[in-house]
Amino acid sequence: MLPLHDNIPSTLRPVVMLGLIAINVLVFLYQMLLPQEALEQFVLSYALIPAHFLQAPPLSWERWQPVLTSMFLHGGILHIAGNMWYLWLFGDNVEDAMGHVRFLLFYLLCGAAAAVAHVMFNPTSLIPTVGASGAISGVMGAYLMLFPHARIITLVPLGFFSTAIEVRAWFFLVFWALLQFLNATMLPQEGVGGVAWWAHLGGFIAGAILGPVLRRPSYRLPRMSKW
């Protein structure tokens, strides 16, 4: 299922979300311009490598720098396109609920939680991990808690055809989280195609916890019918 748009208007311009998208795109364009050898070195320097993370001193920049920088690297055009689409769809409303500064802090904390979850389940891995999906999973977790009854227009493939249906946010996001859990528990630890399933779940859980905590006291959730 591919979410297309929701029915929740924003009252604030999502400048942080737009800035995060811009940074991700600019870094990806820079990656594409690098020669292969330089690109490999760039990824090794700034991606998260679980075994290296655990070998570094606990409070050192050496340990936590890759956690931050890996959030802005991507492994291909489909990887960044998918991540940025989900950030675009869900991020504006979460930033609206939190405000700009809190949303940025929230995003980075969810990315860090996702990285730690990935390391916990792959402690000896030497495979570089890149992508914003852990942090964006946090945004989705917060959206679930803040806007569970929002309506999401979703594209559903049906063989050679597809149709758009309206589903509640809680259904779409719980279904998405369940898929991540099933993939994490039923597939090899590194996942198919190198997908960090536990990072998705770690970020999602962190977002579900932090979302209501970091919501602006003055923010009023929109009224929506329930079912």
Could you tell me the two tokens for 79?
A: 């990887």
Check if the beta carbon of residue 12 is closer than 8 Å to that of residue 96.
yes
Residue 224, SS3 per DSSP: coil
pLDDT value of residue 192: 41
Question: What is the C-alpha to C-alpha distance for residues 222 and 224, in angstroms, rounded to an integer?
Answer: 6
Check if the beta carbon of residue 24 is closer than 8 Å to that of residue 132.
yes
pTM above 0.75, yes or no: yes
- The answer to whether residue 220 is domain-embedded is no
**Number of domains, the chain:** 1
Check if the beta carbon of residue 208 is closer than 8 Å to that of residue 145.
yes
Could you tell me the end-to-end alpha-carbon distance of the chain, in angstroms, rounded to an integer? 21
- The answer to whether residue 174 is domain-embedded is yes
- The answer to whether residue 226 is domain-embedded is no
Q: Provide the CATH number for the domain around residue 144.
A: 1.20.1540.10
pLDDT value of residue 188: 63
Picking from 52, 202, 227, 188, the residue whose alpha carbon sits closest to that of residue 118 is 202
Burial profile 71-81: b = 16 or more Cβ within 10 angstroms, e = fewer: bbbbbeeebbe
Check if the beta carbon of residue 150 is closer than 8 Å to that of residue 167.
no
**H-run or E-run covering 151:** strand 151-158
Q: Residue 67: what residue type?
A: V
- The answer to whether residue 221 is domain-embedded is no
- For CA atoms 166, 100, 215, 59, give the dihedral sign: positive
- The answer to whether residue 33 is domain-embedded is yes
| 9: containing domain | 2-214
pLDDT value of residue 187: 72
pLDDT value of residue 227: 53
pLDDT value of residue 160: 76
pLDDT of the chain along its 227 residues, tens only?
789 999 998 889 999 999 999 999 999 999 999 999 999 999 999 999 999 999 999 989 999 999 999 999 999 999 999 999 999 999 999 999 999 999 999 999 999 999 999 999 999 999 999 999 999 999 999 999 999 999 999 988 877 788 889 999 999 999 999 999 999 888 765 544 468 899 999 999 999 999 999 999 988 877 655 55
Check if the beta carbon of residue 181 is closer than 8 Å to that of residue 201.
yes
- The answer to whether residue 223 is domain-embedded is no
- The answer to whether residue 54 is domain-embedded is yes
Question: Residue 220 forms beta bridges with which residues?
Answer: none
